């Protein structure tokens, strides 16, 4: 039933070796949950150590991936926790329904999306993933437990990084979709102020911005702003996925290469902007077509820093971008977005403000840079995302997540032996009652 | 009564991951699915999932290889369907050889699960395929059935019996236009092999399902999956018995 394996998160920086179980049926999950309680992990698409349990055990949910029922009247889908969001999109978009919230990768599982209370490009309108969960089933040592919104255990589970026990299945409120394609308007944005202005005034359902984290001076914060609306129309043929055949050499993402790539990427969009029709997958999950793009960062792996800062902290955002671009450490992957206030859990990341995500190849200088950025976010009253954090401190967590102590007390009451702890929880001492 | 445009598949042992992978692929091409096994909750979950994957219909039905009483309703249900009838057999059990050595009465169960139970049901279904002059019976055996080894020879012997049954069935069905495919998987990434020592070149269940569908389409007789197991087993079968008996592979 247990297999010793070495595994990593998506960033491949932290690594774990431990025993994994992989139940194929809900009854097998019951048995494991009773005999050997331990954290559940999905597709390990979170970047850091939230999906790792070094020297301990974990339950891989990838074979619990079935869609169990759908109510055409209410649009509620009952689905197993290991089901990937891309599968739901693939089979439900043609029927006129979409998961209300979709994160940037369709490889994420339902369980992971709940445990991290993920957000999408429509967060400013509909809030976080957990706000559209109408119920979930936890598998505890003493049996299954149905948890509904309003229960304190619900708020501890959404965004709770698996600390309330394995999720077996969940009920998701889907939303009707106008058609199987996305109309996307893309335009160049010359600098940070124009960018934030666009985010503050847009009325589009879906918005996201790629940002050139290598641009300096007057170009600081330039990028490409995307607005999307679902629609009906001809679906362009889906392109086949590609694989990265090997770990890339270290120079692949060196400063000059990235600067050159970013400049070309920026100019790809005509000066006056353009509107294109894309398959939904291409808009929601732009990188999923390159199955293992994390290998582009080479053997040492990479980090993704993501923070959200309050709307009033525009200057902090500018300062962060100045530091990042001056360092020459950033990769082409950097994203800016305005978030609404929507969140569903005590440890949920989303809060109203601007969120910035930047990838860095894992190097010592990048770690120092990220530590500085975390400190700046903390000081500005913002927070970093547990699905991505690699370097925050326990004290910073307390400042960023005001409900942490209450959440820890609830988890500890439920799991006094700390059986559900992962490397992330121990690194940040998140379940300490202080 | 025969409608050539519809296909119905009975999947025996539909709780296994290989069977689930095949069921999903059949669902995507619009087949009707009768999912048979013991864990009804799990079968119902797979049936629901298959209907979201575009199956024309999917139902769970109880099947216990050791309980012939469960066979009749399955035959009746299949008979009621129009179109091409097909069967895929995924059942079998492989308890650790040491447990069998301690309790030899376990042999009966292994043989029922892996050979006689499914053979008896398939035998009742074969006339339906013959009458319609179409359809395929896919029998999933194992490379373990190709030669008895110290590690799992009771399971291997049951599968060898099943292989021989499938070979005779193919000989019979071909006269009517129906067909039988013997599938011999090597190591497949299932709950049965999860965490076992000595696994190599482990194939995902999806790959096995693809190989089965290709074999069905091309009316292959015996396939190894992944294909290279044919050559591995050719070598293993060629080792002379005086040497083989001293090996522990």
Nearest to A313 by CA among A255, A268, A353: A353
Last residue of a domain, one of A178, A200, A227: A178
**CATH number of the domain bearing residue A172:** 3.30.465.10
Nearest to A3 among B17, B46, B194 (CB): B194
* Domains along chain B with CATH numbers: 7-244 (3.40.50.720)
Q: Are residues A172 and A191 in the same domain?
A: no
Residue A274 lies inside a defined structural domain of this protein: yes
Q: What is the pLDDT of residues A425-434, one digit of tens each?
A: 999 999 999 8
Residues from chain A contacting residue B42 (CB–CB below 8 Å): 25-27
Residue A43 lies inside a defined structural domain of this protein: no
- HSE-CB at B19 with a 13 A cutoff on CA atoms is 29
Q: Are residues A194 and A248 in the same domain?
A: yes
Using pLDDT thresholds of 50, 70 and 90, give the confidence band for residue A234: low
- Best A5, A68, A71 member to test B by mutation, with max B CBs in 10 Å, is A68
First to last CA, chain A: 37
CA–CA dist B146, B149 (Å, integer)? 9
Contact A207, A185 (CB under 8 A): no
Q: Are residues A192 and A104 in the same domain?
A: no
What is the residue range of A83's domain?
A: 67-178
Contact A134, A171 (CB under 8 A): yes
Q: Are residues A173 and A187 in the same domain?
A: no
Q: Strands A133-140, B57-62: parallel, antiparallel or unpaired by DSSP?
A: unpaired
Residue A53 lies inside a defined structural domain of this protein: no
Residues from chain B contacting residue A22 (CB–CB below 8 Å): 191, 194
Q: Are residues A382 and A312 in the same domain?
A: yes
Q: What integer pLDDT is reported at residue A239 of this predicted model?
A: 63
Contact A392, A398 (CB under 8 A): no
Using pLDDT thresholds of 50, 70 and 90, give the confidence band for residue A244: confident
Contact A65, A27 (CB under 8 A): no
Q: Do A4 and B191 touch (CB under 8 A)?
A: no
Q: Are residues A193 and A155 in the same domain?
A: no
Q: What integer pLDDT is reported at residue B192 of this predicted model?
A: 86
Q: How far is A87 from chain B (nearest CA, A)?
A: 10
Contacts of B197 (CB under 8 A, 6+ apart): none
Residues from chain A contacting residue B191 (CB–CB below 8 Å): 22-24, 28, 63
Q: Do B17 and A91 touch (CB under 8 A)?
A: no
Q: Lowest-pLDDT range, A326-330, A345-349, B38-42?
A: A326-330
CA–CA dist B193, A1 (Å, integer)? 9
Residues from chain A contacting residue B53 (CB–CB below 8 Å): 91
Q: How far is B130 from chain A (nearest CA, A)?
A: 35
Using pLDDT thresholds of 50, 70 and 90, give the confidence band for residue A120: very high
**CATH number of the domain bearing residue A275:** 3.40.462
Mean of the pLDDT values across residues A14-21? 97
Q: Are residues A230 and A150 in the same domain?
A: no
Q: Do B49 and A67 touch (CB under 8 A)?
A: yes
- Best B18, B191, B193, B196 member to test A by mutation, with max A CBs in 10 Å, is B191
Closest alpha carbon within chain A to B48: A68
Q: Do A27 and B48 touch (CB under 8 A)?
A: no
Residue A38 lies inside a defined structural domain of this protein: no
Closest alpha carbon within chain B to A90: B53
Nearest to B17 among A1, A24, A26 (CB): A24
Q: What is the pLDDT of residues A73-108, one digit of tens each?
A: 999 999 999 999 999 999 999 999 999 999 999 999
The interface predicted TM-score of the complex, written ipTM, equals 0.91
Nearest to B48 among A4, A24, A67 (CB): A67
Using pLDDT thresholds of 50, 70 and 90, give the confidence band for residue A153: very high
Nearest to B58 by CA among B85, B32, B87: B32
Q: What integer pLDDT is reported at residue B3 of this predicted model?
A: 47
Q: Do A67 and B42 touch (CB under 8 A)?
A: no
Backbone angles phi and psi of A260, in degrees to 5: -65, -45
CA–CA dist A273, A186 (Å, integer)? 6
What sign does the dihedral A326-A327-A333-A337 (CA atoms) show?
Answer: negative
Structural domain count, chain A: 2
Last residue of a domain, one of A178, A209, A243: A178
Residues from chain B contacting residue A66 (CB–CB below 8 Å): 45-46, 48-49
Q: How far is A254 from chain B (nearest CA, A)?
A: 36
Q: What integer pLDDT is reported at residue A71 of this predicted model?
A: 97
Nearest to A66 among B49, B191, B194 (CB): B49
Q: Do A24 and B41 touch (CB under 8 A)?
A: no
Q: Are residues A162 and A211 in the same domain?
A: no
Backbone angles phi and psi of B82, in degrees to 5: -90, 170
B202 and A CB contact within 8 Å = no
Q: What integer pLDDT is reported at residue A255 of this predicted model?
A: 83
Question: What distances in angstroms separate CA A405 from CA A51, A228, A429, B177, B245, one per listed residue?
Answer: 22, 39, 11, 71, 64
Residues from chain B contacting residue A80 (CB–CB below 8 Å): 45
Backbone angles phi and psi of B65, in degrees to 5: -55, -25
Q: How far is A68 from chain B (nearest CA, A)?
A: 5
Question: What distances in angstroms separate CA A159 from CA A148, A345, A351, B77, one per listed residue?
Answer: 15, 5, 13, 46
Contacts of A327 (CB under 8 A, 6+ apart): A365, A369
Average pLDDT of chain A? 94
Q: Do A1 and B49 touch (CB under 8 A)?
A: no
Q: What integer pLDDT is reported at residue B1 of this predicted model?
A: 40
Backbone angles phi and psi of A162, in degrees to 5: 80, 5
Closest alpha carbon within chain A to B196: A3
Contact A29, A166 (CB under 8 A): yes
Q: What integer pLDDT is reported at residue B82 of this predicted model?
A: 93
Nearest to B52 among A1, A21, A70 (CB): A70
Could you give the residue ranges of the DSSP H alpha helices within A268-334?
280-284, 314-327
Q: Are residues A174 and A267 in the same domain?
A: no
Residue A430 lies inside a defined structural domain of this protein: no
3-state secondary structure (DSSP) of residue B144: helix
Last residue of a domain, one of A135, A150, A178: A178
Residue A249 lies inside a defined structural domain of this protein: yes
Contact A372, A353 (CB under 8 A): no
Which residues 51-70 of chain B have a CB within 8 Å of chain A? Answer: 52-54
Using pLDDT thresholds of 50, 70 and 90, give the confidence band for residue A46: very high
Q: What is the pLDDT of residues A368-418, one digit of tens each?
A: 999 999 999 999 999 999 999 999 999 999 999 999 999 999 999 999 999
Give me the tens of pLDDT residue by residue for chain B, a chain 249 residues long.
444 469 999 999 999 999 999 999 999 999 999 999 999 999 999 999 999 999 999 999 999 999 999 999 999 999 999 999 999 999 999 999 999 999 999 999 999 999 999 999 999 999 999 999 999 999 999 999 999 999 999 999 999 999 999 999 999 999 999 999 999 999 999 998 899 888 888 999 999 999 999 999 999 999 999 999 999 999 999 999 999 999 987
Size of interface A-B (CB pairs under 8 A): 46
Q: What integer pLDDT is reported at residue A236 of this predicted model?
A: 62
Q: Are residues A238 and A381 in the same domain?
A: yes
CA–CA dist B67, A233 (Å, integer)? 54
Q: Are residues A270 and A168 in the same domain?
A: no
Q: What integer pLDDT is reported at residue B2 of this predicted model?
A: 42
Percent with pLDDT over 70 in chain A: 98
Q: Are residues A357 and A241 in the same domain?
A: yes
B199 and A CB contact within 8 Å = no
Residue A15 lies inside a defined structural domain of this protein: no
């Amino acid at each position: 039933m247990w297999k010793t394996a070495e595994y990593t998160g998506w960033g491949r920086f932290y690594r774990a070796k431990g025993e994994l179980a992989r139940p194929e049926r809900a009854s097998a999950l019951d048995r494991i949950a009773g005999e050997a309680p331990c954290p559940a992990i999905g597709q390990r698409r979170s970047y850091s150590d939230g999906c790792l349990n070094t020297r301990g055990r974990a339950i891989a949910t990838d074979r619990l991936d079935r869609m169990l029922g759908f109510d055409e009247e209410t649009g509620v889908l009952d689905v197993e926790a290991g089901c990937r969001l891309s599968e739901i999109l693939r089979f439900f978009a043609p029927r006129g329904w979409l998961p209300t919230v979709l994160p940037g990768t369709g490889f994420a599982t339902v369980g992971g999306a709940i445990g991290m209370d993920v957000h999408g490009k429509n967060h400013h309108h509909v809030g976080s993933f957990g706000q559209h969960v109408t119920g979930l089933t936890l598998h505890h040592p003493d049996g299954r437990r149905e948890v509904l919104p309003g229960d304190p255990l619900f708020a501890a589970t959404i965004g709770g990084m698996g600390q309330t026990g394995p999720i077996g299945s969940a009920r998701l409120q889907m939303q009707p979709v106008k058609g199987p394609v996305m109309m996307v308007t893309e335009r160049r944005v010359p600098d940070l102020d124009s960018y934030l202005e666009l985010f503050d005034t847009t009325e589009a359902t879906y918005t996201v911005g790629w940002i050139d984290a290598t641009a300096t001076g007057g170009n600081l914060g330039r990028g490409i702003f995307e607005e999307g609306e679902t629609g009906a129309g001809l679906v362009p043929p889906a392109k086949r996925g590609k694989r990265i055949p090997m770990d890339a050499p270290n120079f692949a993402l060196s400063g000059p290469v990235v600067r050159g790539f970013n400049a070309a990427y920026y100019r790809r969009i005509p000066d006056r902007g353009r509107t294109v029709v894309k398959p939904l997958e291409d808009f929601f999950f732009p990188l999923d077509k390159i199955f293992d793009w994390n290998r582009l960062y080479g053997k040492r792996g990479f980090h993704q820093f993501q923070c959200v800062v309050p709307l009033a902290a525009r200057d902090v955002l500018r300062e962060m971008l100045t530091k990042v671009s001056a360092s020459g450490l950033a990769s082409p992957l950097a994203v800016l977005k305005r978030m609404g206030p929507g969140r569903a859990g005590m440890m949920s990341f989303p809060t109203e403000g601007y969120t910035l995500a930047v990838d860095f190849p894992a190097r010592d200088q990048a770690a120092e840079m990220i530590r500085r950025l975390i400190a700046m976010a903390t000081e500005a009253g913002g927070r970093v995302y547990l699905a991505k954090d690699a370097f925050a401190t326990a004290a910073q967590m307390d400042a960023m997540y005001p409900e942490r102590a209450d959440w820890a007390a609830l988890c500890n009451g439920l799991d006094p032996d700390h059986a559900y702890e992962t490397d992330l929880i121990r690194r940040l001492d998140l379940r300490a009652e202080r | 009564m025969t409608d050539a445009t519809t296909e119905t598949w009975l999947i025996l042992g539909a709780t296994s991951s290989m069977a689930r992978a095949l069921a999903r692929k059949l669902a995507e091409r619009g087949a009707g699915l009768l999912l048979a096994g013991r864990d009804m909750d799990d079968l119902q979950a797979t049936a629901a999932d298959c209907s979201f994957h575009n199956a024309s219909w999917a139902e769970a039905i109880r099947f216990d290889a050791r309980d012939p009483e469960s066979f009749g309703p399955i035959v009746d249900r299949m008979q009621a369907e129009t179109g091409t009838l097909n069967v895929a057999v995924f059942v079998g059990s492989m308890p650790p050889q040491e447990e069998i050595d301690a309790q030899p009465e376990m042999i009966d169960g292994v043989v029922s699960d892996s050979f006689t139970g499914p053979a008896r049901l398939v035998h009742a279904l074969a006339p339906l395929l013959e009458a319609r002059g179409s359809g395929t019976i896919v029998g999933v055996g194992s490379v373990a059935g190709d030669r008895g080894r110290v590690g799992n020879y009771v399971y291997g012997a049951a599968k060898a019996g099943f292989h021989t049954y499938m070979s005779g069935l193919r000989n019979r069905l071909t006269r009517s236009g129906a067909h039988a495919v013997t599938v011999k998987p090597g190591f497949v990434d299932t709950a049965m092999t999860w965490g076992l020592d000595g696994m190599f070149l482990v194939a995902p269940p999806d790959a096995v399902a693809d190989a089965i569908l290709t074999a069905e389409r091309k009316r292959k007789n015996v396939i190894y999956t992944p294909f290279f197991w044919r050559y591995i087993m050719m070598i293993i079968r060629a080792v002379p018995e005086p040497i083989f008996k001293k090996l522990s592979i």
